[in-house]
């Protein structure tokens, strides 16, 4: 059983399209995240949700909108895709907010998005 799963694994699309990436975790965790790893290999947080509520929202264009239908799912919708959106997107989850210590984050396998 995959703890954190993402679909699709690869996504190739044209500029201007709207696309979604789905994420599901079966760990019973309360917090989920989206990270972006760009061409320079930096892995940066985009959003985090705790019990379906937005906790972290980094300076991400509002074309990116996370949607959490329940605490086991955090989907990422991207509107009007641009070339610079090409990257690997990782979903992750953790038990809590990590305020009590080094709360481990568990990552999904990533979705490689290529915008042509």
Among 87, 108, 113, 115, binds other proteins (CB under 8 A): 108
Q: How many of the chain's residues bind other proteins (CB under 8 A)?
A: 31
| Residues 17-76 interacting with other proteins (rule: CB under 8 A) | 31, 33, 40-45, 48, 50, 55-56, 58
Length of the chain measured in residues:
116
Near other proteins by CB under 8 A: residue from 85, 94, 113, 115: 94
How far apart, in whole angstroms, are the C-alpha atoms of residue 60 and residue 14? 20
Between 5 and 65, whose beta carbon lies closer to other proteins? 5
Interface segment toward other proteins; rule CB under 8 A; list 13-21, 66-74, 79-87, 93-101? 93-101
The beta strand positions in 1-80, using DSSP E, are 4-7, 10-13, 19-25, 31-37, 43-50, 53-57, 64-70, 73-78
Cβ neighbour number for residue 19 with a 10 Å cutoff: 18
> Least distance (Å) from other proteins to the CB of residue 56?
6
Least Å distance, CB 88 to other proteins, is 9
* Selection from 114, 115, 100, 98 nearest residue 45 by Cα: 98
Q: Rounded distance, CA 55 to CA 32, Å?
A: 10
Chain residues in the site for other proteins (CB under 8 A):
4, 31, 33, 40-45, 48, 50, 55-56, 58, 90, 92, 94, 97-110
């Amino acid at each position: 059983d995959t703890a954190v799963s993402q679909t699709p694994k690869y996504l190739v699309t044209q500029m201007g399209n709207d696309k979604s990436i789905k994420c599901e975790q079966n760990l019973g965790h309360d917090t989920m995240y989206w990270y972006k790893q760009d061409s320079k290999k930096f892995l940066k947080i985009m959003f985090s949700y705790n019990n379906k509520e937005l906790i972290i929202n980094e300076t991400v264009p509002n074309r990116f909108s996370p949607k959490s239908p329940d605490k086991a799912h955090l989907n990422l919708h991207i509107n009007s895709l641009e070339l610079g959106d090409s990257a690997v997107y990782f979903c992750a989850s953790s038990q809590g907010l990590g305020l009590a210590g080094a709360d481990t984050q568990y990552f999904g396998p990533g979705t490689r998005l290529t915008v042509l």
